[in-house]
Amino acid sequence: MNVSVDNMKEEDWPAIRSIYVEGIATGDATFETGAPEWEEWDQAHLPGCRLVARSGGEVVGWAALSSVSGRCVYSGVAEVSVYVASAARGRGVGKALLEALVEASERAGIWTLQAGMFPENSISIALHKSCGFREVGRRERLGQLHGVWRDVVLLERRSKTVGV
């Protein structure tokens, strides 16, 4: 699939939200059970690290970072979100987004990226590992989704250029 990755714009939100809802519907992407409105999503994500993948002018995926803490010691640590439209999965969109997000994070002074995902989401785990993330642990029975306890695999990527 021919994709281009560029900065997210507010007018991309309807497509981004739709892709997020598709991910939520899989039951293996997030503990969230519904997508927020733009204002809430906007407040929760770092402004300089929000990307979309486009194919044929349509948004087919998105990636963004959110802070892990308000404490200054963690100012260079961010959590990764990557979502790909169901029709575009398995075509390199996630890899293009995650590679571009890593580059954007380093330009923004981020030294550690972290990601948490359900162990059943093996494709996402493999994607992150292919982009330099390593598994650092597993949080057992971290939370419930629809009444079922779920484990979360933690992955992280330490920059080789920022904070060395």
Give the H/E segment covering residue 115: strand 112-117
Q: Tens digits of per-residue pLDDT, 8-28? A: 999 999 999 999 999 999 999
The pTM of the full predicted model, rounded to 2 decimals, is: 0.95
> Tens digit of pLDDT for each residue in 90-129?
999 999 999 999 999 999 999 999 999 999 999 999 999 9
85-103 per-residue burial string, b: 16 or more CB within 10 A, e: under 16:
beebbebebbbbbbbbbbe
Identify the H or E element spanning 156.
Answer: strand 148-158
Assign a CATH topology to domain 4-114.
Aminopeptidase (3.40.630)
Alpha helix (H) residue ranges in the chain: 13-26, 38-44, 93-107, 122-130
Supply the mean pLDDT for the chain.
96
Q: Identity (one letter) of the amino acid at 29?
A: A
The full set of domain ranges for the chain reads 4-114
pLDDT bucket at 163, cuts 50 / 70 / 90: confident
Q: In the chain, what is the straight-line distance between the N-terminal and C-terminal CA atoms, in Å?
A: 36
